[in-house]
Structure 1
Amino acid sequence: MDATNTLTNTLSPPPARTGRIRPGRRVADRALRLSCLVATVVGAVVLGSILLMLIVEGIRGFSPSLFTQPTPGPGSEGGGIANAILGSLVLTTIGIVVATPIGVMAGTFLAEYGRTSKLADVIRFLNDILLSAPSILIGLFVYTLMVRPMGTYSGWAGGVALAIIAIPVIVRTTEDMLRLVPGTLREAGAALGAPPSVVITSVTWRAASAGIVTGIILALARIAGETAPLLFTALNNNSWFSSNLMGGIANLPVMIYQFALSPYPNWQGLAWAGALLITGTILALSIIARLVINPRRSR
């Protein structure tokens, strides 16, 4: 009997210690919590200060003429940024229209047809490179590809540069959303005799439509404030652009960059107003993306 009790006590696990934490662990936990709290407060203060300064300075430049008149000349008073707003809308529209079908189709190929193929791995690798590539390199690439052969800056070159920036975002989001669709839905469509193309367009795309639209909106928010690629492609001007989009085309990012560095107070005020406008637009697009991807939680 004693041998049996000794064997049982040896094999049984030791009793769990409840409510006893080593002092060193307790100190480390409190130090980590405090460091996280300090980092959060510092980040919130910095971001809040930037937004507060942007709101205060930007509101001063708001007026009805801001949305009705083109940008003024050097040293002149008044004027607005209507041509820059319209130019940005045109450039972002070209960019997102070009990027959306390419990005959605490429993401669909990676998720549905080339899950484990070597070609898909190469495409994912190149997509990751484009996703993290500096936008100024894309601007230089489009400058060499389009601006130099054409002999002039153009809105088309600017739209292509923005499309190249938006494509990786849409590809990654589309692939991730399609991978979240349960395989049983695909099997149900195949069981009904539908070919893979019909299953993709009628089942998987519909199931992942909210996520795909969110990726498109996020890509739109990404390219809305890009400055570097437009410096090499669309540049800027202080008048309305031509209908063929050839020559420099006014846009908000480059206008903010040029006017903020100028010595003219009127230009600086317009730069603050444009920065506030483009920040509010990006914020609105981000909120719309969150509402689209999770409508139940937003309610």
Structure 2
Amino acid sequence: MSITQARQQVTPELRKWILEQVQAGHSAESVLKAMQASGWSEDVAVDAMESTLRDHLEADAVAHGLPPALKVPEPALDESPLYLDAGDRRVSVLQVMAHPKVVVFGDLLSAEECEALIALAKPRLARSLTVATKTGGEEVNADRTSNGMFFQRGEHAVVRRIEKRLAALVNWPEENGEGLQILQYGPGAEYKPHYDYFDPGEPGTSTILKRGGQRVATIVMYLGEPEKGGGTVFPDVHLEVAPKRGNAVFFCYERPHPSTRTLHGGAPVLAGEKWIATKWLRERRFE
């Protein structure tokens, strides 16, 4: 592949070449290096790769009868910032993965906010339930052995402050968020790997979607650190995020399908106690 620096047009031939390299097992980094060595600017090379892979996934999805991709929340990461302005707080960007889109944020919550959420939640804790997509209701699930509770959106001053911060951080309307859920995991407690979107093939999903459409993103915030274990794991990409207090992991999923590679879970707590706050974001206003 030979190209001059003067012409930076992304051609069908280039897209075909990118796809062939990725399908052959070459890493994204090696493909980008090859493009730059041939004269492509870094920005154009990155955009070409991202758009090519995105278009390929979309075409493949349509060909297999999957629903079209949805708009998802997008933190402002185009210029690889070390920090993002979340309105009332400067938040660190610690790690970014492209596919799946996973972002680890540092110092999203203060120690005082973590303690306040735990104190407010404790009197209302009960065995955690999961959404029952067969019926549209809720059910006890053996895969999830935590205790938890939900705040109504905007229920308390600290909740309102955090919800506003999250909306600014990921560029998504506050009203599209479900209520903040607080979860407590004792020794041995876990949430086995699962997807957060609602399976469109299940009979109860149509009822669930009436409240705000599909879930399109998740934010897990760490409120209390276990002594051992309890990380957020993404088995498909061999990633584990440590549950450090005040930090958070964000990930989004543009379609309700395993191709998003957003299978994730809460690893068992091996010692101590883990507390998290989870925020699920919908495609529309959540009622």
In the superposition, the TM-score normalised over structure 2's length comes to 0.22
Greater share of strand: 2
In the superposition, the TM-score normalised over structure 1's length comes to 0.22
Higher relative contact order (CA 8 A, sep 6+): 1
Greater share of helix: 1
